[in-house]
Amino acid sequence: MLRFLVRRVAFGALVMLIVSLVVFILFYVASDPASSFCGRTCTPERKTQIKIVLGLNRSYPRQYLSFLNHLLHGDLGTSFVNRISVNSVIKSGLPATASLALGAAVLWLLMGIPIGITAATKPRSVRDRLATLFALVGVSLPSFVVGLMLLNLLFFQLTTHGHPWFPPSGYVGITDNPLQWARHLLLPWFTLAFITAAAYARLTRGSMLEVLGEDYIRTARAKGLRERTVIYKHGLRSALTPVITLLGIDIGTLLGGTVVTEQLFGLQGIGQSALNAVHNNDLPVVLGTVLVAAFFIVLANIVVDLLYAVLDARVRLS
Amino acid sequence: MSLSIEKSEAGADLPRPEGDVLVRLTGVVKHFPITSGVIRRKEVGRVHAVDGVDLEIRRGETLGLVGESGCGKSTLARLITGLQPVTKGSITFEGVELTKLGRRQMTPYRREIQMIFQDPYGSLNPRRRVGSIIGDPYDIHDVAAGDERKRLVQELMEVVGLNPEHYNRFPAEFSGGQRQRIGVARALALKPKLIVCDEPVSALDVSIQAQVINLLADLQKEFGLTYLFIAHDLSVVRHVSDRVAVMYLGKVGEQAEADELYGHPRHPYTGALLSAVPIPDPDRAASKRRVRLYGDVPSPINPPSGCRFHPRCPKAQDDCTTVDPLLIPAHGDPADHLTACHHPVEDGEDLALARPSISQPDPVAEAPDLPTADSLADRRTP
Amino acid sequence: MSETLVPAQPDTPVTAAAKEGAVVARTPTQLAWRRIKRDKVSLAAAVFILFVILVAIFAPVVCHIIGQSPTSQDRGDHGLTLDGVPVGPSRYHWLGTDEVGRDVLARLIYGSRISLIVGVLATAFELVIGIVVGLLAGYYSGKTDTLLSRFMDVVLSFPFILTALSIVAVTGPSLWVSIVVITFFGWSNIGRIVRGQVLSMREREFVEAARSLGAGDLRIMRKDLLPNLVGPLIVYSTLLIPVNIVSEATLSFLGLGVVPPTATWGNMLAGSADGLYRVAWWYLTFPAMALVLTTLAFNLLGDGLRDALDPRADRVLATK
């Protein structure tokens, strides 16, 4: 188990190294950071000066090593635009992004898994067909369409009819006011949850159907256990393993920034910062957010693999 | 190159030149390493699939190869056809060493050695038409193309008893027996010298088995083919084979002329296999006693010491646990009836009555402990 | 089997074949076609997709017929109200106008071109890369497989939108950047599927048979493995096209895709998100409907195709 962990972490570190190399090439070799730092009113003298200050006059390998050195010390650099450290940009964005991702995850699990189970326990029934339709519609809906519809119906229509239940945008810290926090996040949560729940319903259905076909389920039924016990105690347990795998990776991906949803609902999260940085040509912030997002994905993959090993004894052997 | 016209010189009625060896296996070993670890693969063990086999296949004969599943007979087939590289030992075809050849150099011998597979469903690509499957060999070896290929393929289809008009059908449109005929046609296409038949009928219905076997026999007569016929079913093997070799756990236990082997089985394993063959006459069947073997085939990862059969053998003695018996003639048998056994079965001996007498008493034990000096000294003769 | 059975059945080959030939079987393709013909939903989806494709191809003709252009602003009363607010559906502009008075219907028609071009081209590129990498990884296994699989893992470790953001930040947005970015993130899924299929097929006897005939690796991949991948790949591509259409729309929505004033469904929705959804419901509803109906049609068709081609493969979507 420990060796497995060590190997997994080593590979994760390798992935991060490759990601850092790719973004370095993208931002320092393929593009011109000096002129983007310089801004619109740039003179050649100023640009040369900037190159010296930023260390851009050194060779690329040396630049990369120094970049890597900073990374290893947890320093993601400084914004070109407002001279704030990228670390603090991400730190300030993380609460909103994390609240959004985790809350949405709870919601989509609550929606997706029951729908999947219902569909799987009666395959080819009307319930199953409805669940399939729900899943297909969910998969077909882009998040910004769902978000726009929710904004239109639940914020705009309700508000114009005198029921300002949902605010259109903004983020309130959970420590400042938990109730306002939830109220501001409800629409974003639903936006994310609705499109993701579809995939979970499908996955749960498929994996549940497979598990219910196993011999031990037949044995459990033959023993005379109630159908409820068979499904929830014997079936669900192993059927949820792939769901947990997907959940881990999804949360990892979302923690790196949910650009569309944050943008739509004006949540100052990591994704929003990244998007603004792209529009402002603020390369260090873009680069930092990409690295952080990749880090979350790699971390989630490691956690999922470990969880999987714990849940599924068969993996542990190999 | 036309198949149906050419007839072979080595027809069945001609006396077979004794000792004209087509394929010779010497000390052939195939181990499959079991590895673990992702970044640095470490070998943690090996499957001894084939573990030192000497065998010769003579021109024009059918050599039957019998054994339980997992005894290594299919692996042996894949070694001879070059599908798997050997770990050790030599395989010669008409005197040419095959094991050292590269892929390019092997190509001419691929034409001479063909294979018929066990599973008529798995061995035909479900997405390709029969004509294209049977014509594959012509395509691969640049023998014929276009209409010429079609003509050859349809000729072949007729030879193996398929309707040539079914040229454009998919394998799914044929029954199991017909599919095996497709497999036979494909193996026949390049007019090989040797066809390795890997349990060609075990996946078929009994009634279809006979048809395919008869087809193989006819083709052998017509084209002077040599067969290595692998089966786990002794009765099929007896019907088709000139000589039979019995394999157990990667080794040959006994080999002889078919009638000699069936009439005078020397290896207790052969005896046990023969006693398991159902007898169609109920009176004789009732009087016959089956030889009961203990336990399962031991793991080829960790084969038993000495004679590999000793943990299950009704005649096992202490020496069987330590000394690997040589494959030699026993009890004054003819020179090509070879048996690898310390205590071969006598003619007329009832194996069902035999009981092992190994000092270490548990007959089910898969891997016995090494014998003590005490057990070696205390040798009782049966 | 008893040995007495063997001579019992006299058998001249041709009569035996005629006897066995009584089995009437259909090829997998025929079976699939029969199943899909009975599936009304899939047929409807296919017809809708065909409609969208035709509209996209003949966009100039269609716009000429309705007498609108996607880029010209209607400076009259039917374009914008006096307050500069878009005008709703009318007999001049059937689906209303947008924030600068352009015809929404014409823009939708032209937008379908971008969606389909990106959806189809990106999927095609993903297929090519995915098939090559998946075949190599699955067929050669061992070190090649480890290397390629790890490479796919690395690709999947890049956050899609953020990396797309950064690439666009460097190159600037354009149609081709969108296609390249989407392809880069999509091919590894196909690669994984192909690899898995090849791994399970590699040990089948027909591959061994081909090898025993002396077929080379390339030939086996092309003639024996690839034909068996066609089914799953058709299904997966049909399901991948809507994913890519949504990805393109998302990039456009964020202002990172095809640049305005070119009409794309994502651009239109971005305009709507800019507050217009409060006053111009048509500017939100119709582009959203176009996008959702198109992706839904592809998904329904893909779902139906999967059932038709392989009734037991519930896994294609699950692996996504």
For residue range A7-57, list pLDDT tens digits in order. 888 888 988 898 888 888 888 777 777 777 776 677 778 778 777 777 777
Q: Decide which of C276 and C249 is more confident.
A: C249
Average pLDDT, chain C: 81
Distance (Å) from the C-alpha of residue B25 to the closest C-alpha of chain A?
36
CB B239 within 8 A of CB C4: no
What residue numbers bound the domain in which A58 lies? 2-72
Q: How confident is the model at residue B37 (pLDDT cuts 50, 70, 90)?
A: low
CB B73 within 8 A of CB B67: yes
User: How does DSSP classify residue B249?
Assistant: T
- What gap in Å lies between CA A278 and CA C251, rounded to an integer? 13
Query: Mind listing the pLDDT tens digit for each residue in C235-245?
Result: 889 889 999 99
pLDDT of C57: 93
Query: Mind listing the pLDDT tens digit for each residue in B70-92?
Result: 788 889 999 999 888 899 899 99
Tell me what the mean pLDDT of segment B257-275 comes to: 88
Are residues C295 and A142, on separate chains, in Cβ contact within 8 Å? yes
**Which residues on chain B place their C-beta less than 8 Å from a C-beta of chain A?**
36, 38-39
In a 13 Å sphere around the CA of B351, the CA atoms on its Cβ side amount to 28
CA A84 to chain centre: 25
Distance (Å) from the C-alpha of residue B37 to the closest C-alpha of chain A?
8
Percent above pLDDT 70 for chain B: 83
In chain A, what residues touch B36 (CB-CB under 8 Å)? 318
DSSP string computed for chain C: --GGGGGGS---HHHHHHHHTT-----HHHHHHHHHHH-HHHHHHHHHHHHHHHHHHTHHHHHHHHT--SS----STTTB-TTSPBP-S-SSSTT-B-TTS-BHHHHHHHHHHHHHHHHHHHHHHHHHHHHHHHHHHHHH-HHHHHHHHHHHHHHHTS-HHHHHHHHHHHH---HHHHHHHHHHHHHHHHHHHHHHHHHHHHTSHHHHHHHHTT--HHHIIIIIIHHHHHHHHHHHHHHHHHHHHHHHHHHHHTT-SSPTTS--HHHHHHHHHTTGGGT-HHHHHHHHHHHHHHHHHHHHHHHHHHHHH-TT--HHHHT-
In chain C, what residues touch B174 (CB-CB under 8 Å)? 20, 23, 25
CB B103 within 8 A of CB B40: no
- Among A73-87, B258-272, C139-153, C237-251, which is the least confidently predicted range? A73-87
Spatial CB neighbours of B314, under 8 Å, sequence gap ≥ 6: B268, B272, B291, B292, B293, B351, B352, B354, B355, B356
Position A287 pLDDT exceeds 50: yes
In chain C, what residues touch B159 (CB-CB under 8 Å)? 13
Any chain C CB within 8 A of the CB of A288? no
CB-CB neighbours of B7 under 10 Å: 10
- With CA atoms as reference, the chain B residue closest to A3 would be B37
CB B257 within 8 A of CB B243: yes
- What gap in Å lies between CA B145 and CA B268, rounded to an integer? 53
Q: How confident is the model at residue C260 (pLDDT cuts 50, 70, 90)?
A: confident
- With CA atoms as reference, the chain A residue closest to C265 would be A145
User: How does DSSP classify residue B318?
Assistant: G
> Do A277 and A192 fall into the same domain?
yes
Tell which residue, B304, A203, A255, has the closest CA to residue C316: A203
Cis, bond preceding C261 (omega within 30 deg of 0): yes
> Do A10 and A113 fall into the same domain?
no
Q: How confident is the model at residue B285 (pLDDT cuts 50, 70, 90)?
A: low
Query: Mind listing the pLDDT tens digit for each residue in A159-218?
Result: 788 777 777 777 777 777 788 888 888 889 998 998 889 889 988 888 888 888 778 888
- What gap in Å lies between CA C287 and CA C293, rounded to an integer? 10
A-proximal residues of C, 123-162, CB under 8 Å: 150, 153-154, 156-162
Any chain C CB within 8 A of the CB of B94? no
Within a domain: C249? yes
Report the residue from B128, B160, B175 with minimal CB separation from C23.
Answer: B175
A-proximal residues of C, 231-250, CB under 8 Å: 242, 246, 249-250
CB B246 within 8 A of CB B252: yes
Average pLDDT, chain A: 83
Any chain A CB within 8 A of the CB of C36? no
Position C53 pLDDT exceeds 90: yes
Count of structural domains, chain A: 2
* 3-state class (DSSP) for residue A41: coil
Any chain C CB within 8 A of the CB of A141? yes
Task: Give the CATH number for residue A218.
Answer: 1.10.3720.10
> What are the backbone dihedrals phi and psi of residue A282, each rounded to the nearest 5 degrees, phi first?
-95, 80
What is the spatial order of strands in the sheet that B113-116 belongs to? B113-116, B194-198, B226-231, B62-66, B243-248, B251-257, B338-339
- What gap in Å lies between CA A155 and CA A157, rounded to an integer? 6
Report the residue from A19, A281, A301 with minimal CB separation from C169.
Answer: A281
Within a domain: A317? no
Position C183 pLDDT exceeds 90: yes
> Do A162 and A277 fall into the same domain?
yes
Within a domain: A145? yes
Spatial CB neighbours of B293, under 8 Å, sequence gap ≥ 6: B272, B312, B314
Are residues B124 and C206, on separate chains, in Cβ contact within 8 Å? yes
Q: Decide which of C154 and B63 is more confident.
A: B63
In chain C, what residues touch A283 (CB-CB under 8 Å)? 169
pLDDT of B368: 42
End-to-end CA distance of chain B: 61
Are residues B39 and A7, on separate chains, in Cβ contact within 8 Å? yes
- What gap in Å lies between CA B346 and CA B331, rounded to an integer? 8
Q: How confident is the model at residue C180 (pLDDT cuts 50, 70, 90)?
A: very high
- What gap in Å lies between CA C5 and CA B210, rounded to an integer? 7
Are residues C165 and A274, on separate chains, in Cβ contact within 8 Å? yes
- What gap in Å lies between CA A79 and CA A282, rounded to an integer? 6
Percent above pLDDT 90 for chain C: 24
Asked which of A28, A44, A72 is the last residue of a domain, the reply is A72
CA A310 to chain centre: 23
Within a domain: A266? yes
Within a domain: A79? no
Within a domain: A100? yes
Tell me what the mean pLDDT of segment B310-319 comes to: 85
Considering just the CA atoms, what is the radius of gyration of chain A in Å? Answer: 24
Report the residue from A202, A275, A278 with minimal CB separation from C318.
Answer: A202
Tokens standing for residue A266: 């004006």
Within a domain: C302? yes
> Do A232 and A109 fall into the same domain?
yes
User: How does DSSP classify residue C3?
Assistant: G
Spatial CB neighbours of B35, under 8 Å, sequence gap ≥ 6: B41, B42, B43, B44
Within a domain: A316? no
Q: Give the largest Cα separation in chain B, rounded.
A: 76
Q: Decide which of C264 and A168 is more confident.
A: C264
- With CA atoms as reference, the chain A residue closest to C320 would be A199
Q: How confident is the model at residue B16 (pLDDT cuts 50, 70, 90)?
A: very low
Q: How confident is the model at residue B289 (pLDDT cuts 50, 70, 90)?
A: low
Asked which of A19, A42, A72 is the last residue of a domain, the reply is A72
- What gap in Å lies between CA C260 and CA C242, rounded to an integer? 22
In chain C, what residues touch A136 (CB-CB under 8 Å)? 296, 299-300, 303
In chain C, what residues touch A277 (CB-CB under 8 Å)? 169
Are residues B236 and C227, on separate chains, in Cβ contact within 8 Å? no
Q: In one letter, which amino acid is B129?
A: R
Which residue reads 């991949």 in tokens?
C221
Q: Dihedral of CA B184/B186/B189/B191: which sign?
A: negative
Q: Decide which of C48 and A74 is more confident.
A: C48
In chain A, what residues touch B39 (CB-CB under 8 Å)? 7
- A interface mutation test: which of C42, C157, C160, C274 has the most A CBs within 10 A? C157
CB B249 within 8 A of CB B297: yes
DSSP string computed for A91-134: HHHHHHHHHHHHHHHHHHHHHHHHHHHHHHHSTTSHHHHHHHHH
pLDDT of B2: 43
What residue numbers bound the domain in which C224 lies? 37-66+84-312
- Among B353-367, C107-121, C222-236, which is the least confidently predicted range? B353-367
Q: In one letter, which amino acid is A310?
A: V
Q: Could you give the C-alpha distances from A153 to A145, A156, A188, B21, C267, in angstroms and in order?
A: 12, 6, 14, 88, 21
Which residue reads 């609705």 in tokens?
A194
> Do A117 and A146 fall into the same domain?
yes
> What are the backbone dihedrals phi and psi of residue C19, each rounded to the nearest 5 degrees, phi first?
-65, -50
Report the residue from C14, C209, C228 with minimal CB separation from B123.
Answer: C209
Beta-sheet pairing, B96-97 with B88-93: antiparallel
Within a domain: A127? yes
Asked which of A42, A72, A102 is the last residue of a domain, the reply is A72
Average pLDDT, chain B: 81
Position C320 pLDDT exceeds 50: no
What is the spatial order of strands in the sheet that B21-36 belongs to? B42-58, B21-36, B88-93, B96-97
Within a domain: A187? yes
Any chain A CB within 8 A of the CB of C48? no
Ramachandran assignment for A102, one of left (phi > 0), alpha (psi -120 to 50 degrees), beta (any other): alpha
CB B251 within 8 A of CB B52: yes
Position C315 pLDDT exceeds 50: no
Within a domain: C183? yes
> Do A97 and A20 fall into the same domain?
no
Spatial CB neighbours of B272, under 8 Å, sequence gap ≥ 6: B291, B293, B314, B351
Q: Give the largest Cα separation in chain A, rounded.
A: 85
Within a domain: C77? no
Position B99 pLDDT exceeds 50: yes
Tell which residue, B116, B120, B154, B115, has the closest CA to residue B134: B154
Position C307 pLDDT exceeds 70: yes
Q: How confident is the model at residue B142 (pLDDT cuts 50, 70, 90)?
A: confident
Are residues C214 and B111, on separate chains, in Cβ contact within 8 Å? yes
Task: Give the CATH number for residue C53.
Answer: 1.10.3720.10
- Among B126-140, C57-71, C188-202, which is the least confidently predicted range? C57-71
> Do A91 and A44 fall into the same domain?
no
CB B169 within 8 A of CB B196: no
Which residue reads 């939108």 in tokens?
C161
Count of structural domains, chain C: 1
